[in-house]
Structure 1
Amino acid sequence: MPEGHTLHRIARDLRAAFAGRVVSVSSPQGRFAAGAALLTDHEVVEARAHGKHLFVEFAGERVLHVHLGLIGSFTIDATAYVGERPVIGQVRCRIAGDRHVADLRGPMTCRVITPDEEAAVHHKLGPDPLRDSDGEPAWERIHRSRKSVAALLMEQQVLAGVGNVYRCEVLFRHRINPMTPGERLKRSSWDLIWADLRRLLPLGVATSRIVTVADEVAQIESALAKGEDVHLDERTSYVYKRTGQDCDRCGSIIKAKDVAGRNLYWCGNCQRRS
């Protein structure tokens, strides 16, 4: 499932392509025809994300609410197109302006809602490191829970936008035992997690990849600060999907275990901190 940085990147690209423009909205697949009819020939006001939810606001207090789920994608032309663009695959919703086309395929959620209904969705979600500066609401839920910190980081009502890759990597980066119950997690450890997510997720937006290895992170931050092109190595993570391989830090074997419905990867030797 796409993690939060992907949705924020899509929202950024939708704003750049369509904000302030009247667009046509259609459903080539047909399953969103009624919703498309409510949005077509209206101006796009804004596009925004909260966690794994995307909201495209149209004039007339109409909001397109999208959740990509496991297989969804939302592609936007990187450059202006000329003439009619053919429909490829099962396009649930197409947004077309005078210069760009965006195609939504395979979403879990694609519906037109009101601003009040959007507010209700936001209310159910925890803070988003790409959207919110304050992680206190997440901490309030975490330190009252007996669930493991690894499970809690995957609950969107606790922390929005963080998925399995960021979960595994941020816990490794700070040597935190993923099985530590939330009620036993130190406040200082949570502050490190929150600050690190606030650092790493923007790099995901900028590069469209999850990068957590320290040297790579530093190189990307330097390149972005200088306005230079970003070049990524093949290796961008420490433990994710590295079951049975040696830990870079200590040489122990990386472990894997199902936690909250997804495979958690961690180093039992390095990650002892509670």
Structure 2
Amino acid sequence: MELIQRRWANLSLLAVTAVWGATFIVVKRATEDLAPFPFLAIRFAIAFITLLPFVWVGRHHLTKTGIWKGLALGCFLFGGYATQTIGMQYTTASNAGFITGLSVVLVPALVTSTTHKLPHPTLVLGIISATLGLALLSLGDNLRFNQGDLLVLICAFFFALHIFFVGRYAPTENATVLAAGQILAVSILSTLFSLIFPQGSLQFTSYAWFGILLTAIPATSLAFYIQTKMQQFTTPTQTALICSAEPVFSALFAFLLAGEILPLRGLTGAALVLAGMLTAELSGSQEDLESKEGLRP
């Protein structure tokens, strides 16, 4: 039963990753009209509003602990978005894509540092495969280190912390409360950054609103609820491996929607990322994974 739950959870997380990959091209185009922080502030505010009825229905699950944990998750999530957004101004998109994807390595490192147990050898193999795949997908022939790379590495740490702590909190806290808390935190912090720092384009065009409305529910409220709910049945390391497929889905939808074709190098990278995910999925029983990652309290 637990193995079946884990596989359903991983499939659900893969579907969320596919949604994030599918909306990447939309977000990229929408933020040309509306600067990233105002875009995030409105997107996450709408997402929070859509979750409010469900929070009200399950208000008996509201606890101070759950609310504070949700807000803390939101701080990690916003930290990832903020450092990535600022860092990308001082580095290349390829460097940013690869360095952000290094959360696939950072999550098991966090797990190992807290449990003092190394990941299962097949999980290590999956991590290596996914990392090599990300490198082939993201990095060009002329690898250069830029000023923004350190900021993007900090972004990868924030995203890794988010995945890690969702895995810690999800088994004991209500998923709706955690999802609503983190979405609210991102909206508030994005609004503050919009007011404090100079913003670029602030054109509320029809496409900007299209991007906001399209991403607010499927890619935000629904996606983070599913992630929070499903991580109680799987491990942070497997979640990170699944999320590493986001650039694969991004490339797939870029081909379907914009006709962009991956070169052989990119196709090889995509295959390695998927191979890493499959290796992790076939790496053993749920009990073995839980004991190695300290998933159970």
TM-score by length of 2: 0.25
* Structure (1/2) with the larger helix percentage: 2
Higher radius of gyration, 1 or 2: 1
Structure having the larger proportion of residues in strand: 1
**Structure with higher RCO (Cα < 8 A, 6+ apart):** 2
> Normalising by structure 1, what TM-score?
0.26
